[in-house]
Amino acid sequence: MTFVKGGFIYIITNQHHTVLYAGVTSNLAARIKEHKEKKHPKSFSARYNADKLVYYFFFPTIMEAIEEEKRIKGGSRENKIKIIESMNPGWKDLWEDIKEW
């Protein structure tokens, strides 16, 4: 039997919501912590101070999450905003909800 680990798609933004970054991970809390701590200082998210988690969704397999990440990244800013507001209309930082996972 093959174990298939699930995955999360997520969107982060900066304080003024001018930057939107979509990513994928198998460990959401650990990945968002890396963004907040700017573990990779030359990365897009670190350079643009994108560390506010505004959307996430779990998929049963990491491959499904990767496909959704590609779809979201290929879409317009308007579509990303619709996705965020479908879950989080106030653009609250969801870090507090998931940091203990």
In a domain, 37, yes or no: yes
Boundaries of domain holding 35: 7-98
- Residue 7 in contact with residue 24, Cβ under 8 Å? yes
CATH number at residue 66: 3.40.1440.10
State pTM to two decimals. Answer: 0.93
In a domain, 11, yes or no: yes
Give the model's pLDDT for residue 5: 84
| Pair 8, 22: CB distance under 8 Å | no
The answer to whether residue 57 is domain-embedded is: yes
pLDDT tens for the chain, 101 residues: list them.
445 689 999 999 999 999 999 999 999 999 999 999 999 999 999 999 999 999 999 999 999 999 999 999 999 999 999 999 999 999 999 999 998 88
Predicted confidence at residue 25, as pLDDT, reads: 97
Residue 70 lies in a domain: yes
Q: Which helix (H) or strand (E) holds 65?
A: helix 62-74
Number of domains present in the structure of the chain: 1
Beta-bridged to residue 20, according to DSSP, are 13
Q: pLDDT at position 74, please?
A: 96
Report yes or no on 1 lying in a domain: no
